[in-house]
Amino acid sequence: MINPHLIHAATIVEKMRETADIHTYRIRINDEAERRQYRFAAGQFNMVSLFGVGEVAISIVSDPDEPEYLDHTIRAVGRVTNAVARLQAGDVLGIRGPFGRGWPLDEARGHDLVIVTGGLGCAPVVGAIEYIFRRRNQYGAVKILHGVKTPEDLVFHERFERWERQPDTEVLLTSDRPGKLWRYHVGVVTELFEMVSFDPVQTVVLMCGPEIMMRVGVPILLRRGLPATSVYVSLERHMECGIGLCGHCQMGPYFVCKDGPVMRYDRIESWLGRPGV
């Protein structure tokens, strides 16, 4: 990419409802030459812009081997994402990217995976899980641990059910608070750690969610013999440029947009979950 400021016009080909306020937008870059050139790695993100409104960083959740169509799962929470939520198939968005470093899915080949997510959505890790299951025989045992605050916060319900049916795969769900129809664990996500077994030498951990979950949760895993270099966390910061230049996403010595958003735990450990960083 010569000019990282340049926007590609892209058309929404399909808008898929995940929940009332979360949709996955399948988009296709309009210009054929630009589309052919566009390649991304799992876990990278685009700056998605809406004409005249603004721009937000959104991870690409579709498969990097099929770069013609790009899926972005977007929750309507802010000015830009609320405006995006009003778009339909056929409408045009702008994208810049791809930016950042994603999940270590190449390095993790042949390993077991423990995937920990907390909170709503966790779109960045959904792309990684789908990537792994599309290449199921290249990876070992997969354990997906997902925690929500209340049962109502569980999104991607069908996905969890589909993942659960994959071979050599375990899905554990928990909610901080109980609910009438909640048939899973009640408690914080770190309690699920006690309920899974993993081989610390063979396992790579992918984690996405609140920083406090990482700060509290990762040491529990490390005490079971897992090296800190086997844990990867996906971070979230305010981003405007995507190329480590606008300054907003700094976290200690790092630019989350450029050095992350996925970072190896040992590199970011001392900054994680600290107030005001």
Could you count the other beta carbons within 10 Å of the beta carbon of residue 256?
24
Please tell me the distance from the alpha carbon of residue 18 to that of residue 31, in angstroms, as a whole number. Answer: 28
| Minimum CB distance to another protein smaller for 73 or for 230 | 73
Whole-number Cα distances in Å, 205 to 88, 103, 161, 233? 36, 10, 21, 8
Min dist. Cβ of residue 207 to another protein (A)? 18
- The nearest distance, CB 82 to another protein, in angstroms, is 11
**Of the two residues 49 and 62, which places its CB atom closer to another protein in the complex?**
49
CB closer to another protein out of 100 and 147: 100
In the complex with another protein, the residue whose CB is nearer, 179 or 244, is: 244
The runs of H, that is alpha helices, within the chain are: 32-37, 79-84, 123-134, 157-164, 211-222, 256-259, 265-268
Q: How far is the CB of 194 from another protein (least distance, A)?
A: 30
DSSP state of 31: S
- Give me the least distance between CB of 78 and another protein, in Å please: 5
Is the distance from CB of 240 to CB of 96 less than 8 angstroms? Answer: no
Q: Nearest approach, Cβ of 253 to another protein (angstroms)? A: 3
Give the angle 226-214-112 at the CA atoms, nearest 5°: 40
Instruction: Name the residue nearer to another protein (CB basis): 18 or 55.
Output: 55
Minimum CB separation of residue 80 from another protein in Å reads 10
CA 220 to chain centre: 22
Answer positive or negative: Cα dihedral of 3, 104, 94, 246: negative
* CA separation for the pair 35, 202 (Å, rounded): 38
Calpha distance 130→92 (Å, rounded): 26
Distance CA 45, CA 58 (A): 5
Binding site for another protein (CB under 8 A): 1, 3-9, 11, 30, 49, 51-55, 77-78, 81, 92, 94, 236-238, 240-241, 243-248, 250, 252-253, 255, 258, 270, 274-277
CB of 3 to another protein, least distance (A): 6
Question: Which C-beta is closer to another protein: that of 202 or that of 250?
Answer: 250
Minimum separation from the CB atom of position 162 to another protein (A): 28
Q: Are 44 and 97 in contact (CB under 8 A)?
A: yes
Residue closer to another protein, measured from CB, 95 or 206: 95
Give the 3-state secondary structure percentages of the chain, helix then strand then coil, rounded to 5.
Answer: 25, 30, 45
Of the two residues 111 and 267, which places its CB atom closer to another protein in the complex? 267
